[in-house]
């Protein structure tokens, strides 16, 4: 007897779930909008609503990325291109196939699945059609916030080139499955799939696709960047490189400069283009005075606040870090009035490296020569900000090549050579901006205020 799969939402395109080895028997929610998904999230008790109608979720034990549980399948297709090591940890095809089959079986057993057909890349010539299949409505809403949303016509012809099978409530057996813990994020380029299990932290979804784009774009002569970007009143584009929590989202949300994007971009012969359709902002100590554009999104239905605590009146308390210091907010770019509609800009005139100096050694701002820019880009001196990774509870000095080593599959020189070429071709000015401590190290002074840093930029 064949079980009839019940479906709702926008009709799927030409590629069904069978293409991913899935044979679900439950209800399939195809391409539901965020409002619908948030309603489902509340009904399914995945989260609650704040006094302003914003979805509040908790991610459990994992409140940040899990870098020690991220793997790339080592195979002939990528063997010579991936910079293997502690960051790009190899695993075998057998490990991937075994866990993927377990994830498929797990997802097939769920009474409901949520599918989102989306894009990565605002440049239509470079965009990557993707699909996210998840067991949770709120993770589907997050995906819809964070990636580019196709039109109805585009959905009908959407053929995903990369697919995420997302099973946050499925725990692996580390010993049997050949990994480090019950959590796993595994990318297989030959199968064009990512499998995620054991963690509800939504950032793993967006960062896995970012890692994929960071592999694909350089092969086309384009530079992927862990940066934010905005445009001045005269069309001058600026990009801000930096690790999570160093100020990319905050500094790019400038009332005088329309936003292109807050975290992930590409740079090609036409200029800068966003890889995403939304923002994933840190919420810790958020204030309306210092960050009015971001603060406003926390009152907009459609925003998802992750691990944020509500006060007795149902209002977010952004100073409460009882769950994590890595509290987050996910919202679509449309939530920012002051934005570039097409999510693209021209050739950057200013390239800014954001470094969160935990020792208070670096000056607040420095202008860099091209050679100095290459050095700082390769070395990537900064600090891991508390909460952004599992186990990081206070700032830790680190060297993160390209200001995004956890997401860069290739050798840093690949990205550095592309950056140097782009900077030289466009005569861009390069700057080092310290968003950390400047009057003594962490524990002996306070972190530089956002408004002071912004004043330095505007000067």
> Looking at the annotation, which residues are catalytic?
65, 207, 226, 244, 248-249, 263, 328
90 CB-contact burial (10 Å; exposed 0-12 / middle 13-18 / buried 19+)? middle
Tell me the DSSP string of 384-410: EPTTSBTT--S-EEEE-GGG-GGG--S
Instruction: Tell me how far apart the alpha carbons of residues 237 and 443 are, in angstroms, rounded to a whole number.
Output: 36
The per-residue b/e assignment along 295-326, b for 16 or more CB within 10 angstroms, e otherwise, is bebbbeebbbbbbbbbeeeeebebeebebbbb
Contact 412, 405 (CB under 8 A): yes
Contact 301, 266 (CB under 8 A): no
CB count, 10 Å around CB of 399?
10
Kindly report each contact of residues 310-316 with a partner whose C-beta sits within 8 Å and lies 24 or more positions away, as own/partner.
310/48, 310/50, 310/51, 310/56, 313/51, 314/49, 314/50, 314/51, 315/50, 315/51, 315/52, 316/50, 316/54, 316/56, 316/283
Q: Supply the angle between the helices 137-146 and 203-216 in degrees, to the nearest 10.
A: 40
If you search the block for the tokens 């059609």, which residue do you land on?
Answer: 129
Chain centroid offset of residue 330 CA: 10
Could you tell me which of 338, 335, 357 has the C-alpha nearest to residue 145? 335
Could you tell me which of 214, 198, 190, 141 has the C-alpha nearest to residue 165? 198
Contact 265, 275 (CB under 8 A): yes
Q: How is the beta sheet containing 304-306 ordered, strand by strand? A: 48-49, 55-57, 304-306, 328-332, 278-282
């Amino acid at each position: 007897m064949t079980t009839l799969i019940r479906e709702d939402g926008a009709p799927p395109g030409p590629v069904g779930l069978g293409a991913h080895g899935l044979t679900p028997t439950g209800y399939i929610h195809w391409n539901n909008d965020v409002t619908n998904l948030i309603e489902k999230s509340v009904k399914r008790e995945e989260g609650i609503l704040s006094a302003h109608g914003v979805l509040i979720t908790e991610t459990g034990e994992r409140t940040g990325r899990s870098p020690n549980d991220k793997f790339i399948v080592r195979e002939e297709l990528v063997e010579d291109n991936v910079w293997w090591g502690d960051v790009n940890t190899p695993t075998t095809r057998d490990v991937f196939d075994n866990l993927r089959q377990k994830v498929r079986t797990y997802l097939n057993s769920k009474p409901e699945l949520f599918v989102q057909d989306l894009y990565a890349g605002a440049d239509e010539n470079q965009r990557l059609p993707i699909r996210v299949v998840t067991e949770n409505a709120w993770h589907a809403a997050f995906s819809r916030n964070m990636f580019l949303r196709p039109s109805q016509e585009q959905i009908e012809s959407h053929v995903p080139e990369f697919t995420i099978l997302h099973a946050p409530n499925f725990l692996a057996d580390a010993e049997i499955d050949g990994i480090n813990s019950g959590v796993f994020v595994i990318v297989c380029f030959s199968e064009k799939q990512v499998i995620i299990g054991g963690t509800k932290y939504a950032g793993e979804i967006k960062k896995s696709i970012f890692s994929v784009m960071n592999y694909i774009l350089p092969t086309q002569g384009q530079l992927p960047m862990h940066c934010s970007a905005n445009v001045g009143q005269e069309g001058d584009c600026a990009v801000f490189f930096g690790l999570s929590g160093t100020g990319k989202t905050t500094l790019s949300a400038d009332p005088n400069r329309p936003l292109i994007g807050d975290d992930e971009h590409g740079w090609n012969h036409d200029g800068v283009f966003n890889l995403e359709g939304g923002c994933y902002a840190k919420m810790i100590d958020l204030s309306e005075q210092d960050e009015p554009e971001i603060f406003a999104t926390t009152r907009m239905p459609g925003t998802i606040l992750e691990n944020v605590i509500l006060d007795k009146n149902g209002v977010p308390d952004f100073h409460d870090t009882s769950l994590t210091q890595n509290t987050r907010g996910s919202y679509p770019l449309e939530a920012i009035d002051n934005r570039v509609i097409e999510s693209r800009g021209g050739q950057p005139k200013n390239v800014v490296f954001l470094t969160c100096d935990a020792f208070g050694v670096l000056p607040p701002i420095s202008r860099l020569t091209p050679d100095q820019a290459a050095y700082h880009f390769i070395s990537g001196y900064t600090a891991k900000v508390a909460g952004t990774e599992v186990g990081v509870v206070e700032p830790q000095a680190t060297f993160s090549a390209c200001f995004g080593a956890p997401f860069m599959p290739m050798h840093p020189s690949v990205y550095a050579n592309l950056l140097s070429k782009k900077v030289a071709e466009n005569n861009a000015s390069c700057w080092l901006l310290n968003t950390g401590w400047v009057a003594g190290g962490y524990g002996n002074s306070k972190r530089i205020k956002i408004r002071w840093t912004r004043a330095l930029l505007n000067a």
